[in-house]
């Protein structure tokens, strides 16, 4: 139980750090570019603690569900002569402000002003020129990308620690276990019966702890190579040289022909178009590798980050469908959730808790797993915030790029520069996106409570 709590708390702290640094990624460039930033807050709701440093109030709020940086003049004036509109980098605050401003345009006397009074406490900039919307387009992009970039950097650092300092479990050429009998790869049996034939490895006298030296005269350098040699020697008697207790022994084995899962050059199982395992008749000896935690080279970090980004991107593209499938599993007792499907923060915390509570997993491997979850969480935040829809950071980036194109085209045509683009006009889209995200979040949270993805 203590181990489970440790895992959940570790992810909660990691999420808090991710949120704090995400918002700092917006805060730092905004201040460097001279934007007035009255607030930097972690959490939402009533303020638990705050302190003013310079012109900015830093603090923590009651609900640790996110954070925000208040930017003065984030939106330009809706009409000539009006004051620019302040906003924050938070999803909810921006969506709420858009709704308030939409209501005001349709008759609400001071809805937007009331919102600003709550979110920013009517703290105007001393200098009206210190408005966010007055920044050059490229500076606005830097400010809005600052948050996602911080999540990306956190992911890179976390993966570097996990891969290079701790390492990951890898197959070795040492034998971890020896099958006592021969079962087809598609068999669901977990124990040998009297009718099952003894495995070739057991019959040859191969034991757990033996280190493979060569198979059929070919020196063994890794387990994938050893598997390929065994599969190619079906029904042929071959010498197998192993090292046991510091001495080399030459044993004789005859791999039988058996139905095995098809594997690629990296040793990964190959799936067909329907996502099912493919099988082939190949040589079978009946041995499995021992694993050892092995540090990886620095060059392994960025490919791992990119692979994670690609995985998250695929999930996001299919997110509505995957969330729908997840919702369906909650009402079907016989259905199981896709282990590679989307998770809420609740699900991530539960998985971390399960990992840290396992007695069979070495301590360093537990730490590496939790760090890996933290890295994946930041990759998800990075990719998610780059979606080019408001109120996400990517939506503001697209707005700045569109503004740059409009102004560039005006310069080419030697026309007067147009007014800064008012992306708050996309209020209906903003609210639709926000509503969709809210619904999907609720579904995933409920699924992670009612039918969670577990390690079992």
In the prediction, which pLDDT does 81 show? 59
Last residue in a domain, options 112, 134, 156: 134
Per-block average pLDDT, block size 10, for the chain (456 residues)? 84 91 95 92 88 92 84 75 65 51 44 43 58 90 95 97 92 89 64 74 91 92 88 87 92 83 67 68 85 92 94 86 86 79 84 84 87 94 88 86 87 82 70 80 86 75
The enclosing domain of 277 has a CATH number of 2.30.42.10
Do both 197 and 274 map to the same domain?
yes
Residue 89 belongs to some domain of the structure: yes
Do both 382 and 425 map to the same domain?
yes
- Quickly list DSSP for 134-175: GS-HHHHHHHHHHHHHHHHHHHHHHHHIIIIII-EEEEEEEE
Last residue in a domain, options 294, 310, 342: 294
In the prediction, which pLDDT does 23 show? 93
Q: At what angle do helices 137-160 and 301-317 cross, to 10 degrees?
A: 120
Residue 16 belongs to some domain of the structure: no
Do both 109 and 253 map to the same domain?
no
Instruction: Write the CB contacts of 150 (distance below 8 Å, at least 6 apart in sequence).
Output: 21, 22, 24, 25
Residue 205 belongs to some domain of the structure: yes
Do both 274 and 345 map to the same domain?
no
pLDDT in tens, 188-218: 666 777 666 778 898 899 999 999 999 989 9
In the prediction, which pLDDT does 29 show? 96
Active site residue 23: yes
Do both 157 and 265 map to the same domain?
no
Residue 177 belongs to some domain of the structure: yes
Do both 289 and 301 map to the same domain?
no
Largest CA distance in the chain: 92
Which residue, 420, 428, 427, is CA-closest to 399?
420
Do both 453 and 304 map to the same domain?
yes
Instruction: Write the CB contacts of 401 (distance below 8 Å, at least 6 apart in sequence).
Output: 137, 141
Last residue in a domain, options 263, 294, 325: 294
In the prediction, which pLDDT does 424 show? 65
Number of domain units in the chain: 3
Do both 125 and 215 map to the same domain?
no
Do both 301 and 152 map to the same domain?
yes
Do both 450 and 307 map to the same domain?
yes
Active-site position among 23, 57, 101, 171: 23
Residue 23 belongs to some domain of the structure: no
Instruction: Write the CB contacts of 214 (distance below 8 Å, at least 6 apart in sequence).
Output: 220, 239, 240, 241
Taken in order 322, 323, 326, 331, the sign of the CA dihedral is negative
Do both 367 and 323 map to the same domain?
yes
In the prediction, which pLDDT does 244 show? 92
First-residue to last-residue Cα distance in the chain: 17
In the prediction, which pLDDT does 139 show? 94
C-alpha angle 395-400-403 in degrees, rounded to nearest 5: 125
Do both 205 and 113 map to the same domain?
no
Residue 337, domain extent:
141-167+297-456
Residue 175 belongs to some domain of the structure: yes
Three-state DSSP state, 304: helix
């Amino acid at each position: 139980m203590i181990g489970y709590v440790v895992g959940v708390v570790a992810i909660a702290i990691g999420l808090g750090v991710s949120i704090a640094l995400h918002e700092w990624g917006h805060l730092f460039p905004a201040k460097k570019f001279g934007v007035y930033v009255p607030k930097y807050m972690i959490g939402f709701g009533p303020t638990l603690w705050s302190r003013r440093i310079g012109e900015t109030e830093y603090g923590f709020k009651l609900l640790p569900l996110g954070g925000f940086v208040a930017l003065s003049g984030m939106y330009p004036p809706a009409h000539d002569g009006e004051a620019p509109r302040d906003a924050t980098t938070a999803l909810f605050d921006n969506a709420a402000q858009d709704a308030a401003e939409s209501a005001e345009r349709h008759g609400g006397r001071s809805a937007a002003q009331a919102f600003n009074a709550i979110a920013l406490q009517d703290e105007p900039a001393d200098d009206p020129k210190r408005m966010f919307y007055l920044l050059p387009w490229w500076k606005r992009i830097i400010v809005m990308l600052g948050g996602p970039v911080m999540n990306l950097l956190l992911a890179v650092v976390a993966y570097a620690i996990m891969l290079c300092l701790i390492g990951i479990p890898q197959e070795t050429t040492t034998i971890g276990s020896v099958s006592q009998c021969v079962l087809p790869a598609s068999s669901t049996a977990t124990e040998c019966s009297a009718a099952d034939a003894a495995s070739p490895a057991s019959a040859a006298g191969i034991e757990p702890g033996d280190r493979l030296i060569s198979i059929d005269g070919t020196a063994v350098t890794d387990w994938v190579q050893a598997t390929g040699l065994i599969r190619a020697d079906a029904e042929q008697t071959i010498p197998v040289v192993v090292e046991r207790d510091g001495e080399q022994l030459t044993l004789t084995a005859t791999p039988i022909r058996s139905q095995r899962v098809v594997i690629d050059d990296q040793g990964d199982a190959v799936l067909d178009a329907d996502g099912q395992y493919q099988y082939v008749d190949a040589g079978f000896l009946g041995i499995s590798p021992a694993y050892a935690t092995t540090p990886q080279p620095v060059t392994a970090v960025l490919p791992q980050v990119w692979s994670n980004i690609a995985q998250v991107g695929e999930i996001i593209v299919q997110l509505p469908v995957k969330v729908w499938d997840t919702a369906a599993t909650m009402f079907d007792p016989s259905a199981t959730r896709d282990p590679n499907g989307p998770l809420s923060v609740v699900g991530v915390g539960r998985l971390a808790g399960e990992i840290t509570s396992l007695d069979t997993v070495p301590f360093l491997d537990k730490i590496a797993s939790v760090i890996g979850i933290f890295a994946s969480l930041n990759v998800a935040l990075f990719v998610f915030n780059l979606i080019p829809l408001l109120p996400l950071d990517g939506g503001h980036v697209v707005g700045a790029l569109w503004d740059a194109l409009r102004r560039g085209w005006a310069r080419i045509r030697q026309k007067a520069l147009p007014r800064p683009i008012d992306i708050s006009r996309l209020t209906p889209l903003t609210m639709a996106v926000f509503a969709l995200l809210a619904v999907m979040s609720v579904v995933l949270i409920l699924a992670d409570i009612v039918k969670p993805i577990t390690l079992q």
